[in-house]
Structure 1
Amino acid sequence: MIDNKLLQKYNNPVPRYTSYPPANFFTEEFSQDDFRKALTESNDYDPQNISFYFHIPFCKQICYFCGCNHYGISNDHIIEDYIKALKVEIKTMISHIDKSRPISQIHYGGGTPNAIPVEYLQEINEILFSEFGTIEQPEIAIECNPAYLTLEQMEGLKKAGFKRFSLGIQDFDTDVLKAVNREKPGMPVKEIMDYLKDGDPEVAINLDFIYGLPKQSAAGFSKAIEQAIELKPDRLVTFSYAHVPWVSPIQKKLEKVGLPESDEKMRMFENGFQLLTQNGYQAIGFDHFALENDELAQAYQHKKLHRNFQGYCTRRTTGQVYALGVTSISQLSTVYAQNTKKLSDYIEQAGKGEIPIMKGYRLSKEQMVIREVINELMCNEQIIWNEIGHRFNLSGEEVKKTVVYDTAKLQEFEADGLIKLSDEKLEVTDEGLILIRNVAASFDPLLQNTTKTFSKSV
């Protein structure tokens, strides 16, 4: 895929660009009143579709690789208190949203959303469905740890309206799972998939894997992907483990076991990529894969792909993201807003009808243009300058002047085989796909002088 010299040259810390600007640029000067105003304003912006995200932070067992906001379950009361506060936050937030707008996406992440009683998830979805209509075949999705899935729980999740299930496999190797403190699936993964689908053509299954963990090797990871291909999930993700112990100190435990070297980690990526693309999966970005008849693969092939904090999505299911729960991040057309990270503060503030904002960011008009450039690159692996300009009533040259357009740097990328460059467009090559974050970062004015820290690109 890419030679080791280029990997060493470009494997530097850069943003993941799940948002632009990245979340570590958000400011605490952003207030509750700022967000209330932004919620009302969002009704007048596109996309009109609504995407709800719910953060369920609870885990029965904490995985050492986790960089997400999470809490162990100390007692049942803490879950009950959290859900009560979450319901109040829903009521507070949707009071600002036009009820004629349709839901296109609901996503539960964590933590471990299926670590709590399924009845709570049913109640939350019922609130949303009673207040809003939906588009045809909305994406109602939940992340699940297969260690905790039972037949009874799966039946409850289906009754709650979930149609997409992301199963956090991470690896099939029990030695790897033990090293990262993760339990193995409670029943064979094929049985889980068969029960969830059970003849319903609308149900889709994602399998999620992580490469770069202790005890992993290129050969072992290939074996895991081969097992996954036999199961034939609709989509599959191979996440690059991001070692950020300054954000998540629990990751330091992995250093004691030992992390794979960067060249071994690169071989894991390459092997997985080749196996999947040779067995009926369309590569989407550098870590997502979908069966070639999947809606996501079709969107990629037609250069209509989009993404948000929850991952890649289609334009059909794209909505402004209204996020609820501790540490969740809303992504509106003009504003980002992140809830408090402290569980007790969230329960107190949300429970009183306050909007529990910790920090946020209002984008300038120029930053909206930059966001579009970076999103287009990260999703569709190309930038056609005039097309992006047309969306903002700008010329292609004006778009170039808005971003950092460093001709010398781009020519260096081209000389290294990462991109193809012309006056009209930029295209990422197959070889450059793994380093697409580096290309995106070259357009980012915020990185010119910053002390912010990021994970390495590979």
Structure 2
Amino acid sequence: MKISLIQKYNVPGPRYTSYPTVPYWNEVEFTEQKWIASFQQSFSESNSQNGISLYIHLPFCESMCTFCGCNKRITKNHTVEEDYIKALIKEWSLYCKLLPEKPLIKEIHLGGGTPTFFSKNNLEHLINGIFTFANKADQHEFSFEGHPNNTTYEQLQKLYDLGFRRVSFGVQDYAEKVQKAINRIQPFHNVAKVTFWAKEIGYTSIGHDIIFGLPFQTIEDVVDTIEKTNSLKPDRLAFYSYAHVPWIKGNGQRGFNEENLPKDAQKRKLYEIGKQLLSKNGYHEIGMDHFALESDSLYKAAANKGLHRNFMGYSASKTQLMIGLGVSSISDSWYSFAQNTKNLEDYYQLLEWDKLPIVKGHILNDEDLKIRKHILHLTCDFETSWDNEARYFEELPSVLKDLEEIEKDQLIVIEEKRIKITEAGRPFVRNICMAFDLHLKRKSPETNLFSMTV
């Protein structure tokens, strides 16, 4: 890959788990009642057909990983588990009281923080509490994130018994110097152990998360990490760029100096070599930053143009309505977004007052909905089209004009009513999506908001 392209397109940009992106939400026009109406409309359109999704944020961690950009609460005090689960079930009950019938749950994802901070009994209490108010879809997909250092066989077995078949383990990198810099000391033995346990129990999709661009990381480190990963043969991988955003995350991302980070072409080379190794080992690139074996549901969904993307990342199954439970969680009705408070104490207080813990959101207008579909197609299918009036929007000619330079660089092909991203253009998907981002184009950020795209 040409260094000039990396230098040219390595600019701050969103990761597009949503559109509009959170910094561009219109909070002035958003109200809780508008969100509830949107949530109820989406439920009536989707529950009986596809069911709904739940994202449950479990924020507690025993130690601070300095690469992490998630909302978390650091503590070794496990007595916090029961109060938090009680609050989650209360929040879910408030949503269910707004519905005319029991929701049908197709997807659950436990994220964090560290979901495996919680004991197997408390995890069981949580899931059973959720299904006190809901039914389980026949073709459901339940997943969770596990920390290799504290995930136990008993937790894996319990969650499997509760219907979970997918687990992802955070690996990041196996080099000791990198692990020390990001405060994530995690031997290969620990990852191998939990991976083999998950296979033995019967999980059908085991994932590993690997990051490139970490402090002190070299090509040899990436090669070693991927070779070790291949020896365990997880079904899918997230291989993504470290997002250095210390202006957002405070001290959590200041455990090393800027000069310790791989830059531009050096960083991109880590990805290219990693990608080559993954391809050699039978992994196919899926959307942005994801890879999967042909036997995995993520690969099959991508091959059949059935891939979906939302705040939970990429999914092999599509739902219109996603409810986010827990501190900082974001809900998505397709027509609207709503985010919970990021403060744990406020979260508890609002629930004690029988109020949804929502603090901000955005109601999508017609233009937003059209752009959202285009960005979703680009990030999932590497193409989008406007072959009917429903996909056309007034500023499309201007967008195509802005894309001419990207086409000259052979990153996309612009047809009469379609754009296709080339193989060379896949690493620049975020840049291509930015051309469609009318909110970003109308008001460029005056301060740091996003990580670098490359």
Which category of TM-score, normalised to the shorter sequence, fits these structures?
A: over 0.9
Q: Match of 1:450, as an amino acid?
A: K
Q: Which residue of 2 aligns with 1:224?
A: 225
CA shift in 2, pair 1:116/1:27, >3 Å? farther
Name the counterpart of 2:441: 448
Q: 1:52 to 1:408 in 2, by over 3 A?
A: same
TM-score normalised per structure 2: 0.93
In structure 1, distance between residues paired with 2:103 and 2:85: 25
Aligned partners of 2:120 and 2:154 also within 8 Å: no
Give the structure 2 partner of residue 5 of structure 1. 4
**Aligned counterparts, 1:1-150, within 5 A:** 2-29=1-28, 30-46=30-46, 48-73=50-75, 75-99=77-101, 101-150=103-152
Residue 399 of structure 2 is matched in structure 1 by: 406
Mapped partners of 2:230, 2:433: distance in 1: 31
Measured in 2, the distance between the counterparts of 1:27 and 1:145 equals 36
The runs of at least 4 aligned residues of structure 1 exceeding 6 Å deviation read: none
Counterpart pick for 2:294 among 292, 295, 299: 292
Q: How many residues align?
A: 447
SS in 1 for 2:431: helix
1:7-37 per-residue CA deviation (whole Å, 9 max, x = no partner) reads: 1001111111100000122344433333322
2:40 maps to amino acid: T
In 2: Cα distance, 1:89 partner to 1:225 partner? 40
Q: Normalising by structure 1, what TM-score?
A: 0.92
Relative to structure 2, which stretch is displaced further, 405-414 or 114-123? 405-414
Report the equivalent of 1:245. Answer: 246
Letter in 1 for 2:87: A
1:426: which partner in 2? Answer: 419
Distance 1:231 1:186, change over 3 A: closer
Q: Aligned to 2:292, what secondary structure does the other structure show?
A: strand
Paired position in structure 1 for 2:329: 328
Please state whether the residue corresponding to 1:142 is helix, strand or coil: strand
Task: Measure how far apart 1:403 and its partner are.
Answer: 4.4
**SS at structure 2 position matched to 1:169:** strand
- Structure 1 position 346, deviation (Å): 0.5
CA distance in 2, matches of 1:253, 1:195: 33
> SS of the counterpart of 1:378?
helix
Cα contact 1:65–1:254 (8 A) shared by 2: no
Aligned counterpart, 2:200: 198
Asked if 1:380 corresponds to 2:381, the answer is: yes
Q: Which moved more, 1:152-161 or 1:319-328?
A: 152-161
Identity percentage of aligned residues? 37
Decide whether the 8 Å contact of 1:86 with 1:351 is kept in 2.
no
Deviates more, 1:338-347 or 1:24-33: 24-33
> How far off is 1:451 after superposition?
4.3
SS across alignment from 2:299: helix
Distance 2:80 2:397 in 1: 47
Where do 5+ consecutive residues of structure 2 fail to align? none
Cα 1:186–1:421 shift into 2, 3 Å? closer
Which residue of structure 2 lines up, in the alignment, with residue 309 of structure 1?
A: 311
The equivalent of 1:177 in structure 2 is 179
Structure 2 SS opposite 1:83: helix
Post-superposition offset of 1:75: 2.9
Of stretches 121-130 and 413-422 in structure 1, the one that deviates more from structure 2 is 121-130
2:279 corresponds in structure 1 to 277
Contact 1:106 1:141 in 2 (8 A): yes
Report the CA distance between 1:81 and its aligned residue.
Answer: 2.3
Do the aligned residues in 1 keep the contact of 2:320 with 2:334 (CA within 8 Å)? no
RMSD over aligned Cα atoms = 2.0
Q: What letter matches 1:441 in structure 2? A: M
Letter in structure 2 aligned against 1:19 = S
Instruction: State how far apart, in whole Å, the 1-side matches of 2:272 and 2:414 are.
Output: 25
Between 151-160 and 275-284, the greater mean CA deviation after superposition: 151-160
Residues 205-239 of structure 1, C-alpha deviations (whole Å, 9 max, x = no match): 01001111112112211221121112111110112
The alpha-carbon deviation at position 129 of structure 1 amounts to 2.9
Counterpart secondary structure, 1:247 = helix
